[in-house]
């Protein structure tokens, strides 16, 4: 069993893998390029017009089919919302990964651009820190390691280039996974809209819209909405500038709402890899001879629960359970 494991990605899969390994006495270090753990289980906070708004702009609601995720939701204080079996983080979605990250060593703003070395002595090479939207600098600034093993808990298309050098055969397998993009619009309005709390429109660029402020423990005095472009629309318009996607989705939402007041805040976020369309079909990948593995929702299905299951499965296999 490896004694030290580096985990690239502190989303649900990476966190769940780290917790499982820690429970078996394996030392782990997580590295994430973001400013907070959680990945696609995310909350964006903004200030506009002298007010604070929060939007769960990634996963919208969580459902648990198995005992592990049920326990994860319960332990992180998630609460019911809207439909039978739907849960959300409280007071925001990001509270769930925050709870999972407690007690773990997580290095944030630490993008990994290469996995180098050999079995038993892997090194991670990092990119120079950059602000959101800023292009990656060519120079890498530092390295971490050595580690006995490395886990890639990042979306499959982002894992492929990191695997090509040390494990090209794994890269070829991961290349088969397909993940759909999703343009997401976040908007706050000065007054309540005459719409139900959730919508799944047909024949619109928007595939899902929800009154985020209707979730438990949110500021109900705000009228915060999250609207997602459908997969076909998002794919077709993936390379729009954020302002262009924002304008197009706001127009589509105005059509659904029969008109809109001027928003107090509106911004769009491009999830290049959002929802798994073609999964790997195995709980995780692990190459014991190399000490390299991969986990993520993309191993199993397009759901947050799949990420937790995949990470836990990889942790167990590495620990020899």
Among the listed residues 289, 295, 273, 305, the one whose alpha carbon sits nearest the alpha carbon of residue 30: 295
Nearer to ligand FAD, 163 or 193 (CB): 163
**Nearer to ligand FAD among residue 193 and residue 226 (C-beta):** 226
Select from 172, 174, 169, 125 the least CA-distant residue to 147. 125
If one counts every other C-beta atom within 10 angstroms of the C-beta of residue 221, the result is 7
Least gap, CB of 199 to ligand FAD (angstroms): 14
Helices (H), 81-209: 95-101, 156-164, 168-174
Residues contributing to the site for ligand FAD (CB under 6 A): 8-14, 31-34, 39-41, 58-62, 111-112, 153-155, 158, 182, 184, 228, 271, 274-275, 296-297, 303-304, 307
Q: How far is the CB of 189 from ligand FAD (least distance, A)?
A: 21
Please state, in angstroms and rounded to a whole number, the distance separating the CA atoms of residues 82 and 86.
Answer: 7
Tokens representing residue 293 in the block: 């593995």
Q: Determine if the peptide bond prior to 302 is cis (ω within 30°).
A: no
Chain mean position to CA 279 = 16
Q: Tell me how far, at minimum, the Cβ of 262 lies from ligand FAD, in Å.
A: 25
Q: Which is nearer to ligand FAD, 26 or 186 (CB)?
A: 186
Shortest Å, Cβ 49 to ligand FAD: 26
Our CB check for ligand FAD shows the closer of 1 and 250 to be: 250
Residue with tokens 């530092």: 142
Cβ count near 79 (within 10 Å): 14
> Nearest approach, Cβ of 321 to ligand FAD (angstroms)?
21
Q: Is the Cβ–Cβ distance between 177 and 20 less than 8 Å?
A: no
Smallest distance, Å, CB 58 to ligand FAD?
Answer: 5
Residues 6+ away with beta carbon under 8 Å from 68: 308, 309, 312
Residue 234 makes CB contacts below 8 A (sequence gap 6+) with: 180, 181, 182, 183, 228, 274
Residue number with CB closer to ligand FAD (25 or 41): 41
Q: Please, which residue, 19 or 40, has the CB nearer to ligand FAD? A: 40
Closer of 49 and 176 to ligand FAD (Cβ): 176
Closest separation between CB of residue 246 and ligand FAD, Å? 15
């Amino acid at each position: 069993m490896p004694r030290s494991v580096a985990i690239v990605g502190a989303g649900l899969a990476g966190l769940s893998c780290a917790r499982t390994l820690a429970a078996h006495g394996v030392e782990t270090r997580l590295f994430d390029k973001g400013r907070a753990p959680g990945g696609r289980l995310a909350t964006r906070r903004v200030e506009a017009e002298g007010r604070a708004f929060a939007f769960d702009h990634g996963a919208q609601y969580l459902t648990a089919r198995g005992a592990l995720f049920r326990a994860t939701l319960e332990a992180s204080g998630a609460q019911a919302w809207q439909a039978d079996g739907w849960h959300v983080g409280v007071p925001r979605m990001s509270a769930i990964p925050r709870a999972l990250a407690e007690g773990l060593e997580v290095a944030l703003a630490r993008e990994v651009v290469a996995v180098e070395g050999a079995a038993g002595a892997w090194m991670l090479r990092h990119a120079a820190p950059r602000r959101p939207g800023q292009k990656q600098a060519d120079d890498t600034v530092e390295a971490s390691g050595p580690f006995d093993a490395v886990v890639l808990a990042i979306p499959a298309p982002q894992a492929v280039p990191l695997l090509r050098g040390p494990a090209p055969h794994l890269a070829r397998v991961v290349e088969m996974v397909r993940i759909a993009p999703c343009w997401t619009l976040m908007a706050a309005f000065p007054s309540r809209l005459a719409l139900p709390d959730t919508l799944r429109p047909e024949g619109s660029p928007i595939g899902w819209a929800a009154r985020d402020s209707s979730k438990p423990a949110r500021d109900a005095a705000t009228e915060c909405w999250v609207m997602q472009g459908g997969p076909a629309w998002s794919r077709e318009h993936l390379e729009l500038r954020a302002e262009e996607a924002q304008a197009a989705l706001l127009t589509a939402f105005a059509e659904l709402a029969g008109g809109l007041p001027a928003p107090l805040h509106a911004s769009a976020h491009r999830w290049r890899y959002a929802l798994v369309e073609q999964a790997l079909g195995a709980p995780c990948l692990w190459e014991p001879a190399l000490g390299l593995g991969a986990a993520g929702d993309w191993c199993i299905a397009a759901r947050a629960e799949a990420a937790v299951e995949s990470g836990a499965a990889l942790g167990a296999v590495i620990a020899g359970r």
